[in-house]
Structure 1
Amino acid sequence: MIVVTGGTGFIGSNLVAALEEQEVGEIAVVDSFGVGDRWKNLAKRELAAVVAPSACIDYLNANKQKVEMIFHMGAISSTTEQDVDLIIANNFTFSLALWHWCARNQVRFVYASSAATYGDGSRGFRDDQTPDALAQLRPLNAYGWSKHLFDRRIIRLASEGTKPPQWAGLKFFNVYGPNEYHKGDMKSVVAKSYPVAAKGETVRLFKSHHPEFADGGQLRDFVSVNDCVNVMSWLREHSDVNGIFNLGTGKARSFADLVRAVFSALGREPQIEYIDMPENLRDRYQYYTQAEMSRLTQAGYDRAFLSLEDGVADYVKRYLSQMDPYR
């Protein structure tokens, strides 16, 4: 059995779909659905169980002879969430409980870290997992800090011998793709701009408030969720690979490029207007992210990543433009 926490969410539900396609056997999801259409992210899947997070450890104990691997995608992922106690309870304390359970029971463990751990990027985007290198990072928000706190703790535990038989943390950069529709303001700019562009209207992007970046020229490492799933599938097939790894494309592109790719996928000329960024975001806004991908390639991952244009076109044509946009 493979267990996916956060399996009703964006990346988690895409992973569940891929695992089912790979015929891995039983899949259990640990998550809550809440209200709304989030259930549609899993509506096409066959599942062995759907477990509330509060019952997760009890479920694992009851099924420890069957559980072979945990993909821990569950988290409070909003970068604007203000309840730090809630963030720590989910992103650090619960994650640490899963780490120790996997270490005790010799179960493989792959978890979601985040590029938000890099803060404003002034210290670079190298996935150096040494304690000294991690200590230099300064996340800009409580979400990024909670992920960084967990990264630092498990590196220490692993160095002391308290670790699962395989473990990997993935620092996801700016992920886009199907099943992100429940995320509200945290949806990708692709998902936000598509309905506007599809109606032939003007897409709005933030102006730059940094002298080195033009309006719309703010840069991100945009990565398709398909590539993220491919990396996680590869980790499942390579149990000897351990460590914290960046997960982006290694190529920063602008928000203007992203929106132009949406218009191109629709066969339309781009229409973009630039508006002021809210003042409360300006002092903690990242103007540039780009994953350093050499550690993952050195570990043996050699599959090419989708270009921005190809990834956005796939998302628009196979999902966003369809009556059923879910994977």
Structure 2
Amino acid sequence: MYLVTGGAGFIGSNLVAALAARGEEVMVVDRLGSGDKWRNLAKHGIAGLLPPEEIEDFWAAEPPVTAVLHMGAISATTETDGDLVAATNLTLPLWLWSACAARGVPFLYASSAATYGDGAQGFDDDASPAALARLRPLNLYGWSKLAFDRRVAQMLERGAPRPPQWAGLRFFNVYGPNEAHKGRMASVLFHKFRQVMAGEPATLFRSDRADIADGQQMRDFVHVDDCVAVMLWLLENPQVSGLFNVGSGRARSFLDLVQAMFAALGREPDIRFIDMPADLRGKYQYFTEAPLDRLRAAGFNAQTTPLEEGVRRTVQDVLMTEDPYR
């Protein structure tokens, strides 16, 4: 049985779908709330749905867990409740780490490209304490993810008990199926598609930097299928542990993304630039790109999905269908 926290969420539900397709038993740890988040799981058989507050009691019963895949988090970059974020993004994964170490269970967890802050220190997924100490996230979410990465590095350096396999995955700008529940935190592609379907132009933030034109802010956009492929490969290669970037390996502009969306829709681009919201000013990444050298050196050689193909698949095979869930 695989234990997937955040298994009804975006990346988590795509992972659950892939494991279920392989015939694996999957216990999902998540809350569904009162919206349509349940639809992310509706097409797949699962072993059960466990509220996060019951995970310790579940673990105490010593179920036959093959691996823990910790995708659950407070992922809103605008969240300001420090105690909530620390409890969810730091305290819980520390407990899971210790529990997996004690029982000899592999542990994979979601880190984030938000740990890199404005990118001034680069995007090297160096897991050493010295390298991690140099990073300066721009928001509470990024700090919480970095705090856990740093604690893992400290425990490894001190020879503390560790899971037999562990991997921290620094996901970059992920897009794909099962984002509808994320609200403001859904991908740019999802929001722009909704705008255009409502008869509006696709809006992008104006640049407030003189050296970067409007729409030329750049991100490493990675299809969720590529993220799942990395996790499945890690499960198949238990000798591999470490902190790894997970992206496409190539930065592309927001303008590229939106133009690819219009091409997938068979429409001429209709784009309007708007001012950046006040709560994002000074906390906005203008460039991200995931070097994949460490992941490649570890043996992962699958090719990542080109942006235009990933956007086409997401728009035509998911968002434009009657049942836009995986």
Q: TM-score range by the shorter chain?
A: over 0.9
Partner of 1:137: 135
Cα deviation for residue 101 of structure 1 reads 0.1
Per-residue Cα deviation, 1:133-162 (whole angstroms, up to 9, x for no partner): 000000111100000000010111123142
Verify the 8 A CA contact 1:3 1:70 in the aligned structure 2. yes
Verify the 8 A CA contact 1:263 1:269 in the aligned structure 2. yes
Partner of 1:18: 18
Cα deviation for residue 12 of structure 1 reads 0.3
Verify the 8 A CA contact 1:197 1:262 in the aligned structure 2. no
Q: Distance in 2 between matches of 1:279 and 1:323?
A: 36
Q: Distance in 2 between matches of 1:281 and 1:49?
A: 38
Per-residue Cα deviation, 1:102-125 (whole angstroms, up to 9, x for no partner): 000000000000000000100000
Q: Could you list the runs of 5+ residues in structure 2 that have no partner in the other structure?
A: none
Per-residue Cα deviation, 1:225-269 (whole angstroms, up to 9, x for no partner): 010001101011000110000001110000111000110001111
2:195 is the alignment partner of 1:193: no
Identity of aligned residues (%): 55
TM-score normalised according to structure 1 size: 0.98
2:8 is the alignment partner of 1:8: yes
Q: Distance in 1 between matches of 2:104 and 2:153?
A: 17
The aligned amino acid for 1:235 is: L
Verify the 8 A CA contact 1:198 1:266 in the aligned structure 2. no
Secondary structure at the counterpart of residue 223 of structure 1: strand
Secondary structure at the counterpart of residue 170 of structure 2: strand
The aligned amino acid for 1:267 is: G
Partner of 1:300: 299
Per-residue Cα deviation, 1:79-132 (whole angstroms, up to 9, x for no partner): 000101000000000110000000000000000000000001000000011110
The aligned amino acid for 2:101 is: A
Per-residue Cα deviation, 1:46-76 (whole angstroms, up to 9, x for no partner): 1112111000011122134x11100000000
Partner of 2:28: 29
Secondary structure at the counterpart of residue 110 of structure 2: strand
Partner of 1:78: 76
Q: Given the alignment, which residue of 103, 106, 109 partners 1:108?
A: 106
Which structure 2 residues correspond to residues 26-105 of structure 1 after superposition, within 5 A?
26-64=25-63, 66-105=64-103
Partner of 2:264: 265
Cα deviation for residue 36 of structure 1 reads 0.5
Q: Distance in 2 between matches of 1:55 and 1:199?
A: 41
Cα deviation for residue 321 of structure 1 reads 0.2
Q: After superposing the two structures, state which structure 1 stretch, 277-286 or 167-176, moved more.
A: 277-286
Secondary structure at the counterpart of residue 85 of structure 1: helix
Q: Distance in 2 between matches of 1:280 and 1:102?
A: 38
Q: Distance in 2 between matches of 1:322 and 1:60?
A: 39
Q: Distance in 1 between matches of 2:39 and 2:272?
A: 33
Divergent runs of 4+, >2 A:
195-201
Partner of 2:289: 290
Cα deviation for residue 201 of structure 1 reads 3.5
Q: RMSD between aligned alpha carbons? A: 1.0
Q: Distance in 2 between matches of 1:158 and 1:8?
A: 31
Verify the 8 A CA contact 1:119 1:286 in the aligned structure 2. yes
Q: Distance in 2 between matches of 1:138 and 1:122?
A: 9
Verify the 8 A CA contact 1:109 1:168 in the aligned structure 2. yes
Q: Distance in 2 between matches of 1:4 and 1:294?
A: 27
Q: Distance in 2 between matches of 1:123 and 1:164?
A: 29
Q: Distance in 2 between matches of 1:209 and 1:223?
A: 25
Per-residue Cα deviation, 1:267-312 (whole angstroms, up to 9, x for no partner): 1111111111123311111100001110000000000000110000
2:224 is the alignment partner of 1:225: yes
Partner of 2:235: 236
Per-residue Cα deviation, 1:156-194 (whole angstroms, up to 9, x for no partner): 112314210000000000000110101111011111111
Aligned residues: 325
Q: Distance in 2 between matches of 1:34 and 1:103?
A: 31
